[in-house]
Amino acid sequence: MRMRGPEAIGITAHATGYVWARNGLSHPELSTREGRMLSDSMRPMMMLSSVLGGPTLESYLLARHRTIDALLERAIEQDGVTQVIEIACGLSPRGWRFAGRYGSKLTYIEADLPGMADRKQRALRRMGSLGEHHRVEVLDALLEEGPGSLAALAAKLDPDAGLAIVTEGLLGYLDREAVEGIWSRFARTLAGFRTGLYLADIQLSGDASAPVRAFRVMLSALVRSRVHLHFTDTRDVAGALKRAGFERAEVHHAPQVAAAGEHREDPAQTAASSERREDPAQAAASSERREDPAQAAASSERREDPSARLAHVLQAG
Ligand SMILES: C[S@@+](CC[C@H](N)C(=O)[O-])C[C@H]1O[C@@H](n2cnc3c(N)ncnc32)[C@H](O)[C@@H]1O
């Protein structure tokens, strides 16, 4: 299998698709044989990591997926988001789960490059999930405008309602210039809507754990190009988001947020707990404090104006 660039990146979507399915988050139509083979090939590294007492890559993937779910759920239920564009959706089951849950109250658009978009559309059709409020579109996140760009897709949505943009597992494959370019386009697009929210995950160079570092090396070999660590710390990433045009940027430590959520058995409450932080330095420090459920619940009372363009970014373990 000799692939490069976006096509090679697409294959990694099969591995994560298989992880979501194996953990009861997905549907068999979104779990592929390629995904199982890839996932099995990563198993020795996962086992080594858990034998050494570290978090496994799978636990990080699940933490990031569930935390994005929780933040999105809160935005829909409390902050007026009624439209979602999940860019580079791959074989993620989130669109299927959210479309099933919210029905006509939510318009969920899954978007990816042509090959993956076609595959996803066929799978969702077999699952009976597609309709007016759940669809798949071809979109290249790197396009500034024109057919297949975010600008063209967003122009078809309702500006008087809230929009959330999600990217999961995409940023690491793009260089810093490309990431800053897509963030500027996202911020500009979100500014045209009543409420704007961007949710994503990122790996920071400053504190990547051993399994995350090892995974990066494996992924770089698999996709035959570099997997990037663009930002050193939370201050660095929040600064770049603000320069791109986001009014607020909050960085969460995904495994910690997910672990705290398991304590509380209410992930939406966990997600809300970090809403009041504005200063990225404070954001980094406050992840230490997020152990206390009472404090977390109280903090959700003090949330900022939800109409601000907000980016939440989940940091790898
Ligand atoms: C690692 S997968 C992540 C898939 C899914 N979000 C998940 O977490 O399981 C990366 C996805 O990015 C897509 N992709 C790569 N470059 C892209 C681009 N420029 N625009 C949109 N999607 C892109 C690939 O086709 C692939 O589906």
The DSSP secondary-structure symbol of 310 reads E
Say which residue the tokens 């979100």 belong to. Answer: 190
| Cα dihedral 191/196/201/203 (nearest 10) | 40
Question: Model confidence at 303, in pLDDT bands (50, 70, 90)?
Answer: very low
Distance of CA 89 from the midpoint of ligand 1 (Å): 6
Mean pLDDT calculated for residue range 261-266: 44
- pLDDT in the model for residue 257: 65
Say which residue the tokens 């978090």 belong to. Answer: 55
The contacts found for 73-76 with CB under 8 angstroms, 24 or more apart, are 73/267, 73/268, 73/271, 74/268, 74/271, 74/272, 75/162, 75/164, 75/195, 75/197, 75/306, 76/102, 76/105, 76/106, 76/164
Closest Cα to atom 4 of ligand 1: 90
> 265, exposed or middle or buried, with CB in 10 Å at 0-12, 13-18, 19+?
exposed
- pLDDT in the model for residue 156: 97
Fold assignment, 5-255+305-315:
Rossmann fold (3.40.50)
- pLDDT in the model for residue 3: 44
Distance of CA 301 from the midpoint of ligand 1 (Å): 35
- Choose among 180, 305, 307: nearest CA to 245: 180
Give me the sign of the Cα torsion angle 18, 20, 22, 24: negative
> Does residue 12 line the site of ligand 1, with CB under 6 A?
yes
Atom of ligand 1 at shortest distance to CA of 17? 9
75 C-beta neighbours (distance < 10 Å), count: 25
Report pTM.
Answer: 0.82
Atom of ligand 1 at shortest distance to CA of 90? 27
Give me the sign of the Cα torsion angle 239, 174, 185, 77: negative
Q: Has residue 123 got a pLDDT over 70?
A: yes
- pLDDT in the model for residue 289: 31
> Does residue 112 line the site of ligand 1, with CB under 6 A?
yes
> Does residue 280 line the site of ligand 1, with CB under 6 A?
no
Q: Has residue 241 got a pLDDT over 60?
A: yes
For the chain, which residues make up each domain, given as ranges? 5-255+305-315
196 C-beta neighbours (distance < 10 Å), count: 27
The SS3 of residue 303 is coil
> Does residue 16 line the site of ligand 1, with CB under 6 A?
yes
Q: Has residue 288 got a pLDDT over 80?
A: no
Say which residue the tokens 């979501």 belong to. Answer: 20
pLDDT (tens digit, 9 = 90+) per residue, 73-116? 999 999 999 999 999 999 999 999 999 999 999 999 999 999 99
Which of 61, 68, 96, 113 most suits a substitution to test ligand 1, by most atoms within 8 Å of the C-beta?
113
> Does residue 9 line the site of ligand 1, with CB under 6 A?
yes
The length of the chain in residues reads 317
Q: Has residue 2 got a pLDDT over 50?
A: no
The SS3 of residue 295 is helix
Angstrom distances, CA of residue 219 to CA of 38, 41, 57, 176, 216: 11, 12, 12, 18, 5
| 138 sits in which H/E element | strand 134-138
Rounded to 5 degrees, what angle do the CA atoms 6, 140, 215 make? 40
Q: Has residue 140 got a pLDDT over 50?
A: yes
Mean pLDDT calculated for residue range 223-234: 76
Mean pLDDT of the chain: 79
Task: Please tell me the distance from the alpha carbon of residue 130 to that of residue 132, in angstroms, as a whole number.
Answer: 7
- Choose among 235, 228, 308: nearest CA to 276: 308
pLDDT (tens digit, 9 = 90+) per residue, 173-228? 899 999 999 999 999 999 999 999 999 998 887 766 666 666 667 666 666 666 77
